[in-house]
Amino acid sequence: MMCSQWFITMHWHILGAGAIGCTWAVQLFKSRHDVTLILSSNERLQQLSTNGGVTYQATDGEIKTYKVNAELAEKNTPIQNLVICTKAYSTINALQSVADRLSSDANVILLQNGLGPQQEAVTLFPELSIWAATTTDGAYLRSPFHVVRAGHGETLIGAISRKALSNKPLSLSPSGDLTLSLIDDIEHKLWCKVAINAAINPLTALNNCKNGMLVSDATLAEKMQAVCREVETIAASCGQPLFEKPLYDMAVSIATLTAENYSSMLQDIQKKRSTEIEQITGFLCKQAEKTGTDAPQNRRLLQQVRQLSLIR
Ligand code: KPL
């Protein structure tokens, strides 16, 4: 179901001013919603102010700066609609940092890679209306608060908490050039995304290569195939059949489509940031353990990426 098109001005708080957070901020701002970025420090507030707002480069090359408001999490004004676009490992801390400010009927959208934090958020905050989202939008930061939109994808959003499931559908309209769709089974889409990320990200991080190498290099292709077979078995053991096609075929298509890209995990390693390995491969290994499924390939990748993160 597409989000409806009638005009409703809403106040959106966005936590996580990375590429996707800045893209959402600009698109909602352009659509005349009230938008407030929640930033982690006074230095970040200063950086935004020095930049004059959020600078956005559209896919046609047009560059504009939008005067988006910002504040710290400590502010005590209520939050009605919250999008968390942090890295997966920061989701819970991010949510806890503003939990006191959420109105009783607030909507919270969790938009990140991986699985685990979404379920944890529902367990920790059962009274909240929580939605999970996954996106194929492409964007990257050229510098802090300067986002480049690399491609237009789709963002799928679905209810994951009891309250969100029983509430009226979420309305985000209008939402600029974001393509947002409300769907019933978001968990399945999150599993599919995790499966693709598990196939591509750790191998590219460990081999310091672009996504395309996983297809063009026979040894890496074989390794990716073995990982895919295992991920499919784990998913099936959890009652989550993945794609209609074999996972390996899907992973090959995506690695080919993004052949010139560095995966987000490799970028994290290169920039000496934490990776999302625990929410991707780590999540799958935990599920394998719960269901008594063998997962030697994924366990090895998990250990190797953990090691790599330690020795940087
Ligand atoms: O989502 C991605 C990521 O890098 O995290 C893929 C699909 C692997 C594209 O690079």
286 is catalytic: no
Specify the residue with its C-alpha closest to ligand 1, atom 1. Answer: 197
Q: What is the pLDDT of residues 36-55, one digit of tens each?
A: 999 999 999 999 999 999 99
Q: Which candidate in 64, 193, 210, 290 is catalytic?
A: 193
Q: Quote the pTM value.
A: 0.93
Pairing between β-strand 129-135 and β-strand 102-111 as defined by DSSP bridges: parallel
Whole-angstrom CA distances from 182 to 4, 74, 89, 144, 145 are: 10, 31, 24, 30, 28
Pocket test for ligand 1, best of 113, 155, 211 (most atoms within 8 A of CB): 211
Please state the domain extents for the chain: 5-184, 189-311
User: Is-contact 131 153, C-beta < 8 A?
Assistant: no
Residue 278's nearest CA partner among 192, 199, 198, 187 is 198
Q: For the domain 189-311, what is the CATH superfamily, name and number?
A: N-(1-d-carboxylethyl)-l-norvaline Dehydrogenase; domain 2 (1.10.1040.10)
* Ligand 1 midpoint to CA 102 (Å): 32
| CA 172 to centroid of ligand 1, rounded, Å | 26
Q: How far apart are CA 111 and CA 82, in angstroms?
A: 10
Residue from 70, 85, 60, 65 nearest 34 by CA: 70
Task: Compute the C-alpha angle 186/190/192, nearest 5°.
Answer: 115
Q: How far apart are CA 9 and CA 104, in angstroms?
A: 19
Residue (of 167, 147, 149) closest to 159 by Cα position: 167
Cα 19 to ligand 1 centroid, rounded to whole Å? 14
CATH code of 5-184, in short, is 3.40.50.720
Separation between Cα atoms, residue 286 and residue 137, nearest integer Å = 28
Residue 2: DSSP 8-state: B
Pocket test for ligand 1, best of 113, 194, 201 (most atoms within 8 A of CB): 201
DSSP state of 93: H
CB contact burial 244-266 (16+ within 10 A = b; e otherwise): eeebbebbbebbeebeebbbbbb
Over its length of 312 residues, how does the chain's per-residue pLDDT go in tens digits?
Answer: 444 444 578 999 999 999 999 999 999 999 999 999 999 999 999 999 999 999 999 999 999 999 999 999 999 999 999 999 999 999 999 999 999 999 998 999 999 999 999 999 999 999 999 999 999 999 999 999 999 999 999 999 999 999 999 976 777 777 889 999 999 999 999 999 999 999 999 999 999 999 999 999 999 999 999 999 999 999 999 999 999 999 999 999 999 999 999 999 999 999 999 999 999 999 999 999 999 999 999 999 999 999 998 876
Ligand 1 shell residues, CB under 6 Å: 113, 196-197, 200-201, 211, 254, 258, 261, 263-264
